[in-house]
Amino acid sequence: MTKQNVLISAEKNVSSSTLALTTIMSKSSSMFSSSSTSSSKPPVPQTNNSINLAITRKSLLKQLEIESGSRINAWVETMKASSPTHIKSPDAFSPTEEHRSWMVQHPSALNMFEQIIKASQGKKIVVFLDYDGTLSPIVADPDRAYMSKQMRAAVRDVAKFFPTAIVSGRCRDQVYSFVKLAGLYYAGSHGMDIRGPTKGAKYKKSNDQGVLFQPASEFLPMIDEVNKVLIEKTKSIDGAKVENNKFCVSVHYRNVDEKQWSLIAETVTSILKEYPELKLTHGRKVLEIRPTIKWDKGKALEFLLESLGFGNTNDVLPLYIGDDRTDEDAFKVLRERGQGFGILVSKSPKETNASYSLQEPAEVMDFLHRLVDWKKLSNST
Ligand SMILES: O=P(O)(O)OC[C@H]1O[C@H](O[C@H]2O[C@H](CO)[C@@H](O)[C@H](O)[C@H]2O)[C@H](O)[C@@H](O)[C@@H]1O
């Protein structure tokens, strides 16, 4: 068995919603069989048993209906809660008390630049960048989420001085087609598709093409299948868009009328009932279908650090900049390692494991410029 297969088989598990259903099912089947299987017990009169059975089946179906209804409602609530129209966006000129105290806990990475540099003394800075909402602004059409030329130049400069990785939920080829920079690591599909240029990397393949790591490769046929089903079942929902991200699928509802959100949630969750090896997560107006393996942007970050030779050392200061829930896995890893800093891109207070914040991609670009300027200066002195 390969390392990847060991990882997959050890860590694959059933989604919690399926478990909930299975528990109800198994509880009910034991209720159904108890009186007929035990020969030591007197037989329960047939009539009572049939009535009981009918009642139990009826209440079971009702229970399943309620369970599934409340699960869909829970998804709709999550969808609404994370939608900007439902978030109290702070006024930049008169921030709320909540926003002020959040900024104390997660100060601007630009204001904290000197402290970040101080922490990097004697260490190698490694830069991790999310794509959507971090390097490119969020736009209505995911196929047109281009980054600006200026941002590309900033990332190119950063990559000249620091090992740099783009970590995205998107398919790796797609994110590469936006960034268009060689010499970087790219981790697509939420880190499940990693490729990068390295010298002497541990996970290097026998040829010279650098790292290639795809821990969910056995899920490809299933992802393709569910992608087709999702396209078919959502095609009548105006504005819904299904995006095949190779090892995961995104179902966008940004352009769907809010009244139809519960239909989206219902459609996606009911399809997923047929795929217990896949799970549902949530991003910025997008539902994401992913394999249940324990692999995420945090694991990808650890993998990349190890791949770069910084697995077991303190001589590294990883900086991870991202705007999405999925980036929290990486922020958490940094916090737990007590190494480097997570930087959340957000205009509004959010629960986060990041240490610092930046408001928008324009500030991300400023931060990248400052890193490069500092490095150039320190190289010249
Ligand atoms: O990890 P990321 O690079 O942040 O990718 C996460 C998802 O980003 C994309 O969707 C988001 O950006 C779109 C373009 O601005 C926007 O229209 C959409 O509403 C956002 O959710 C991408 O299309 C998804 O596949 C990624 O999973």
Tens digit of pLDDT for each residue in 121-153?
A: 999 999 999 999 999 999 999 999 999 999 999
Residue 99 has pLDDT above 50, yes or no: yes
Nearest residue (by CA) to ligand 1, atom 23, is 142
The helices-and-strands tally (H runs, E runs) of the chain is: 12, 12
* Helix pair 297-307, 328-337: axis angle to 10 deg: 50
Structure tokens at 250: 């995104």
Burial of 138 from C-beta contacts in 10 A (0-12 / 13-18 / 19+): middle
- Best residue among 144, 241, 242, 286 to mutate for probing ligand 1's pocket (most ligand atoms within 8 Å of CB) is 286
Percent of the chain scoring above 90 in pLDDT: 68
Q: What is the pTM of this model?
A: 0.80
Using CA atoms, how far apart are residues 150 and 139, in angstroms rounded to an integer? 18
Q: Does residue 380 surpass a pLDDT of 50? A: yes
Lowest-pLDDT choice from 3-7, 112-116, 185-189, 364-368: 3-7
> What is the mean predicted confidence (pLDDT) over 248-260?
97
Query: Beta strands 164-167 and 124-129: pairing type?
Result: parallel
Confidence of residue 24 (pLDDT cuts 50, 70, 90): very low
Q: How confident is the model at residue 71 (pLDDT cuts 50, 70, 90)?
A: confident
Report whether pLDDT(373) > 70.
Answer: yes
The residue that leads in pLDDT, 18 or 150, is: 150
Can you give the pLDDT at residue 74? Answer: 79
Is 318 in a helix, a strand, or coil? strand
User: Which atom of ligand 1 is least distant from the CA of 254?
Assistant: 19
The protein residue with its alpha carbon nearest to ligand 1, atom 15, reads 138
Give the model's pLDDT for residue 64.
Answer: 64
Pocket test for ligand 1, best of 186, 193, 251, 284 (most atoms within 8 A of CB): 284
